[in-house]
Chain A
């Protein structure tokens, strides 16, 4: 999960790159059509002079280093751990700090969701998703589970989580995955 700023940079970079490729393709097609004022041959003397100049290797090396550093920074921006470990609770002040282990509270919410008929297992974590605190519950349900029951329980657990944390800025996201195979009941004979 990446920050909102990184996503913005991603989108701007993709837009610029696509515009550059479109402009290059259009210019190549225009030149290929024979209507270009440059004629059939391009005069690359200016480029050759620049490459052979004494300053060119140094400038090229400097630009290369800067681009490599920017690239590394860009990659690192996508590797940040989004998991939130602690959440402050309302009531913290000079008398003391009140907080909760975020993973534990999300885990308890997942246990509450897993305690539903048709839900095989569930796990929970709290992440920071584009500046927003999200308690993400991921549940694996049986292929023949009653989705209405599971959805009602998911709503109930989300409401309970809001009451437990007493924070308006924490959203709850429930993702349901359907198990590939049904786990049949063991029949006693």
Chain B
């Protein structure tokens, strides 16, 4: 019977590095999950300024700071919306990566008033 090898301690086996891009993608997806956020940019606007929500993150060791831009629907309360985005993004990033989020800056970059229902092709 082969000898059971004892594994070295986790901190001696290697390092896990979470890239900034990973945190940014998780933060964008998490911001999009919050109610009343929309991707209002289409066509030329999306080409030039990118999609919403978008996120930038700086990861240093086990801590990170994130900036998120979202689009909102008129007339949602923006202070409540941004607070929900901040809390949800922080919670999701911490849960999925284990990185502690020290701050989440949230900017509402676009507000859309849309009463017309989106077109449906039947």
Contacts and interface: CB of A to CB of B under 8 A. Distances in A.
Contact of A96 (B77, B105, B115): B105
Interface string A90-103: 11001111111100
Nearest to B110: A104
A146 interface: no
B79 A112 contact: no
A166 B78 contact: yes
B105 A97 contact: yes
A164 interface: yes
Interface in B83-98: 83, 86, 90
B107 A164 contact: no
Given A96-B86, A112-B74, A160-B75, A104 B108 contact: yes
B74 A108 contact: yes
A163 B77 contact: yes
A182 B90 CA distance: 53
Contacts of A161: 75
A165 to B, nearest CB: 6
Interface residues of B, number: 24
B103 interface: yes
Interface of B is mostly: mixed
Interface string A101-140: 1001101110110010000000000000000000000000
23 contacts: A90-B79, A91-B79, A91-B82, A91-B83, A96-B86, A97-B105, A98-B82, A104-B108, A105-B78, A105-B108, A107-B111, A108-B111, A111-B113, A112-B74, A115-B113, A160-B75, A161-B75, A163-B77, A164-B76, A164-B111, A166-B77, A166-B78, A166-B79
A89 interface: yes
A124 B111 CA distance: 12
Contacts of B111: 100-101, 104-105, 107-108, 164
Given A90-B79, A164-B74, A115 B115 contact: yes
A3 to B, nearest CB: 27
Interface of B: 66, 74-80, 82-83, 86, 90, 103-113, 115
Interface of A: 86, 89-91, 94-101, 104-105, 107-109, 111-112, 115, 160-161, 163-166
A108 B110 CA distance: 9
Contact of B75 (A96, A100, A104, A112): A112
A7 to B, nearest CB: 32
A89 B104 CA distance: 14
Given A107-B111, A111-B113, A112-B113, A98 B74 contact: no
A94 B82 contact: no
A112 B109 CA distance: 18
A90 B78 CA distance: 9
A112 B73 CA distance: 11
